[in-house]
Amino acid sequence: MNVESFLKHRLVCVAVIHKPEDAVPLTEALLAGGLNCIEVTFRTAGAAESIARIRKALPDAAVGAGTLLTPDNVKAAADAGAQFGVSPGLRESVVKAAQAHNLPIFPGVITPTEVMEALDLGCKHLKFFPSETFGGVNALKALGGPFSHTGVKFIPTGGITAATLPNYLAVPHVAAVGGSWMAEHKLVADKEWAKITALTAEAMKVIAQTQAK
């Protein structure tokens, strides 16, 4: 898969999975709702195992590793079978480690300087994080002025909800949106798979309506 195929649904479920045994049922719930892309954050001890389980059981799912803070995180993610990586910030050693493992990486940026540095490192798909805290849609629109011609695309994440999803999707240089509302910790902990499927389906309906306009 290439980057465009990971992001074709224009939504990435950002999930914190504490128990690896929840990884496959969660991803199955997302798939049932029409979404094939999940980012498993490296905030728990079971992140790598969760990725490996999903990759083995559900080959149709696109599985990424999030919260990659160090080159060691990148190696663990690649070894587990992650198909893309996401970092909350821009760190050259992390980007280069991902490139060495042939792992597409979406580093986090906020400022124009960080965007320029990311472009220098060969990154065209950038996480905009934490989006709502740093201006959200208006900030992304402003960044479009000096950078749209470069081909850069943003994946805003952080504080986005089902209600604000359409506003982000309307920004031309937003490739996809990262969100956790359809798989919040309590929903996963309580194994509310049907609820997760319903929330995902609602989001996919919004995306379809946006694309139809």
pLDDT of residue 116: 98
Rounded-to-integer distance, Cα 8 and Cα 158, Å = 20
The predicted model gives 81-94 an average pLDDT of 98
Residues in CB range of 132: below 8 A, 6 or more apart: 158, 159, 160, 164
What confidence tier does 213 reach under pLDDT thresholds 50, 70, 90? low
Cβ within 8 Å of residue 172, ≥6 positions away: 144, 148
Is there a contact between 154 and 175 (Cβ–Cβ < 8 Å)?
Answer: yes
- Is the pTM here over 0.85, yes or no? yes
Q: What is the mean pLDDT of the chain?
A: 96
- Summarised one tens digit per residue, pLDDT across range 15-42 is 999 999 999 999 999 999 999 999 999 9
Tell me the average pLDDT across 51-70: 98
Residue 41 CA to residue 178 CA, distance in Å, equals: 12
| Average pLDDT over every residue of 171-191 | 97
Q: At 192, which helix (H) or strand (E)?
A: none
What is the pLDDT averaged over residues 48-64?
97
Q: Label residue 5 by pLDDT band (50, 70, 90).
A: confident
What is the set of active-site residues? Answer: 39, 127
- Distance (Å, whole) CA 47 – CA 121: 27
> d(Cα 103, Cα 101) in Å, to the nearest integer?
5
Per-residue pLDDT tens over the stretch 97-144: 999 999 999 999 999 999 999 999 999 999 999 999 999 999 999 999
Q: Is the pLDDT of residue 210 over 90?
A: no
What is the band of 147 on the pLDDT scale with cuts at 50, 70, 90? very high
Residue 1: pLDDT over 70:
no
